[in-house]
């Protein structure tokens, strides 16, 4: 399984971005997005179950971020709205063979290489 995250870039505070994570190989996974800011630990951002019916967003990001998937395209999206300087981080997508969502790094079996989001204030 290979995961390729894309869509990062340099934006202004208040802007929006949509990150994509394209999966190849066996793709019937629950998916998650994590981020790692400079000097900080990697943290959970959002997750989505295989059947799209259930999603989870980290409490601190609810109302600004959203997650969705297009199973026909084997792609998961992370919508980032009203970005703030503190959202600057490398964003990683991850996949797990289990059915449910996990907010734990160790709960995922596969990881992409990450895409950098830089928000200027």
- Give residue 98's pLDDT: 87
pLDDT < 50 stretches in the chain = none
Q: What count of residues does the chain have?
A: 121
Number of other CB atoms surrounding residue 61 within 10 Å: 19
Q: What is the pLDDT of residue 27?
A: 66
At 46, list the tokens.
Answer: 């959002």
Question: What is the model's pLDDT at position 61?
Answer: 96
Strands 115-120 and 9-12, sheet pairing: parallel
The pLDDT score that the predictor gives to residue 52 is 72
d(CA 30, CA 91): 17
The pLDDT value recorded for residue 34 is 98
pLDDT for res 53: 77
Q: Is 33 exposed, middle or buried (0-12, 13-18, 19+ CB in 10 A)?
A: buried
């Amino acid at each position: 399984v290979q995961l390729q995250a894309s869509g990062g870039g340099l934006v202004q505070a208040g802007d929006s971005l949509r990150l994509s994570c394209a999966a190849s190989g066996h793709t019937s996974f629950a998916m998650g997005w994590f981020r790692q800011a400079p000097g900080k630990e990697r943290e959970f951002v959002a997750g989505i179950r295989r059947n799209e019916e259930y999603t989870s967003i980290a409490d601190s990001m609810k109302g600004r971020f959203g997650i969705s998937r297009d199973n026909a395209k084997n792609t998961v999206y992370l919508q980032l709205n009203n970005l703030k300087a503190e959202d600057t981080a490398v964003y990683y997508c991850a996949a797990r063979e289990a059915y449910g969502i996990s907010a734990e790094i160790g709960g995922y079996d596969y990881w992409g290489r990450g895409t950098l989001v830089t928000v200027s204030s």
